[in-house]
Amino acid sequence: MKKVTIMMLSVVLLFVAAIVVLATVDFNRAGKDHVYVEIDEPAYTEEDRLDTGEVMTTYWYEQPAYTEDGEEIEVTFSAQKELRQGAYLMLYVNKDNEVSSYDEVAEEELPAAVEEVL
């Protein structure tokens, strides 16, 4: 009887732990490299019309970004709103330089090597 109770409690505890991890970990950012970019005008936009008639606009950006060492790479990413020109973003990229997420950062938060090239 004790073994069954301990086993059931362990299963419930593992289930709760799994839910907490899935709810709190952002897999779009976990394990990604950071590159920095200063926002310019969007390269182009795409408009999609929903079944309700609402138009969804996607803004695509194609521009150079810089690693924490100041190395330049070319990135392409999208946003659901037009980003503020001149804003600094920290992009989360995988090994193929695909952007999965981004955060706006202040100029003071930029690494020194990135600040020099921007």
Q: Which amino acid is at 83?
A: L
**Average pLDDT of the residues in 67-74:** 90
| Position 56 in a domain | yes
| Position 18 in a domain | no
**Is the full-model pTM beyond 0.85?**
no
Domain assignment of residue 68, given as a range: 33-117
Backbone φ and ψ of 113, nearest 5° = -65, -35
Q: In CATH, what number is assigned to the domain containing residue 42? A: 2.40.50.480
| Position 87 in a domain | yes
| Position 14 in a domain | no
Q: pLDDT confidence of 70, banded at 50, 70, 90?
A: confident
Q: What pLDDT does 22 receive?
A: 76
As to burial, measured by CB atoms within 10 angstroms (0-12 exposed, 13-18 middle, 19+ buried), residue 61 is buried
Percent of the chain with pLDDT over 90: 42
Q: What pLDDT does 56 receive?
A: 92
